[in-house]
C-alpha cells in the first residue's frame, strides 16, 4: 500500500477513507493484520492494523522488510492521446520502471489537456500492483520545443519515428547511461520537430519495426526494447 507519510519503526500511519475501504472493505483485513507499506523513497515496511474503521483507520509500523529499489534513470516523453490510452501509457510506464513520465504538447498533439493528478494516481496504483517501492513522477503537460531547449548534454533520446535503424542496433551502440524515450502523437512528428531532433547529437532516431504502431503500443514496445537492451 502506498502511503504519503514518513516510515519508521514505531511510526503510526493514518489511513484515508479510500485506503480504509480497500483494506477493510475489499481485502477484509481486521485488527492485527499485516500490511506492506511504501512511500516511494524508503523501501518497503511491514505494518499492523491498529484501528480499523469504515471511514479511516490506523496502521502501526513494525519494521523495514525491503530496501528502496529505484528504477534505471529512464524518462518516458509522450504526446497524450485519448484519455483511456494515456492512462494505459502511464500505467505501463510505471510498471516497466520509467523514473519520470513527461507528457508533451507537440505540433500534432491530439489532447491539449491532461489531469496530472489522475495520471499520478494511476502511477501509484501501478507501483502498488507490481510490488515496487518507487513511484515515478508524472509531470504537467509541457511543450516539446521548450523541453528540448534545455535538454541536458548527458541524456540520450530514443526518438521513435520512421527511421531506417532498428532500436536494438542504436541502443546497443550508443554510449551514455541516461536515456529518454520519445513517442509522438497519432499524427506523428512535424517536419520542424523532426529537423530539430535530427540536429541534436543526443537524439537517435529509431524504428520499432515495419508496422505503424499506435502510440500506446509504441510506448510499451520502446520501453521493452530499452529494458531488454540497457535496463537492469
Ligand atoms: N502517421 C504517423 C507518422 O507519420 O509518424 C504515425 C504515428 S504513430 C501512430 C504514433 C507514434 O508512435 C509515432 O510518432 C512514433 O513515435 C511511434 N511509432 C509507431 N510506430 C512506430 C515504428 N514502427 N517505429 C518507430 N516509432 C513508431
What span, in angstroms and rounded, lies between the C-alpha atoms of 73 and 190?
28
What span, in angstroms and rounded, lies between the C-alpha atoms of 58 and 56?
7
Report helix, strand or coil for 2. strand
Which atom of ligand 1 approaches the CA of 206 most closely? 25
Give the pLDDT score at 123: 96
Q: Which of 213, 214, 217, 224 to mutate to test the pocket of ligand 1 (most atoms within 8 A of CB)?
A: 213
Residues of the chain with pLDDT under 70: 174-176, 232
- Copy the grid coordinates of residue 178: 541516461
What span, in angstroms and rounded, lies between the C-alpha atoms of 188 and 178?
24
* CATH number, span 12-66: 2.40.240.20
* Closest protein CA for atom 22 of ligand 1: 208
Asked whether 92 and 223 are in contact (CB, 8 A), the reply is yes
Give the pLDDT score at 176: 59
Centroid of ligand 1 to alpha carbon of 108 (angstroms): 12
Within 13 Å of residue 1, how many CA atoms lie on the same side as its CB? 26
* CATH number, span 74-230: 3.40.1280.10
Reported ipTM: the value is 0.98
Going by C-beta distance under 8 Å and a sequence separation of 6 or more, which residues neighbour residue 11? Answer: 5, 60, 61
Give the pLDDT score at 175: 61
Domain residue extents for the chain: 12-66, 74-230
The answer to whether the CB of 208 is under 6 A from ligand 1 is: yes
Q: Which of 81, 159, 160 to mutate to test the pocket of ligand 1 (most atoms within 8 A of CB)?
A: 160
Residue 86 DSSP one-character state = H
Centroid of ligand 1 to alpha carbon of 169 (angstroms): 18
The answer to whether the CB of 219 is under 6 A from ligand 1 is: no
The answer to whether the CB of 188 is under 6 A from ligand 1 is: yes
- Copy the grid coordinates of residue 12: 503510526
| Closest of 155, 126, 121 to residue 138, by C-alpha | 121
Amino acid at each position: 500500500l502506498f502511503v504519503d507519510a514518513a516510515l519508521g519503526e514505531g511510526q503510526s500511519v493514518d489511513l484515508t477513507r479510500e485506503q480504509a475501504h480497500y483494506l477493510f472493505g475489499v481485502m477484509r483485513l481486521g485488527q492485527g493484520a499485516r500490511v506492506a507499506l511504501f512511500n516511494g523513497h524508503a523501501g518497503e515496511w511491514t505494518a499492523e492494523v491498529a484501528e480499523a474503521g469504515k471511514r479511516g483507520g490506523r496502521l502501526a509500523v513494525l519494521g523495514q522488510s525491503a530496501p528502496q529499489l529505484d528504477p534505471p534513470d529512464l524518462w518516458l516523453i509522450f504526446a497524450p492521446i485519448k484519455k483511456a490510452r494515456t492512462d494505459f501509457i502511464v500505467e505501463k510506464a510505471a510498471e516497466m520502471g520509467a523514473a519520470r513520465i513527461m507528457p508533451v504538447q507537440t505540433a500534432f498533439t491530439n489532447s491539449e489537456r491532461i489531469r496530472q493528478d489522475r495520471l499520478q494516481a494511476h502511477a501509484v496504483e501501478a507501483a502498488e500492483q507490481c510490488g515496487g517501492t518507487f513511484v515515478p513522477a508524472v509531470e504537467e503537460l509541457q511543450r516539446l520545443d521548450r523541453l528540448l531547449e534545455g535538454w541536458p548534454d548527458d541524456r540520450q533520446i530514443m526518438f521513435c519515428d520512421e527511421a531506417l535503424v532498428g532500436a536494438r542496433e542504436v541502443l546497443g551502440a550508443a554510449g551514455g547511461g541516461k536515456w529518454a524515450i520519445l513517442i509522438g502523437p497519432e499524427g506523428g512528428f512535424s517536419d520542424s520537430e523532426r529537423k530539430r531532433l535530427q540536429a541534436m547529437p543526443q537524439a537517435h532516431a529509431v524504428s520499432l519495426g515495419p508496422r505503424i504502431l499506435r502510440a500506446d503500443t509504441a510506448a510499451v514496445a520502446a520501453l521493452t526494447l530499452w529494458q531488454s537492451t540497457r535496463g537492469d
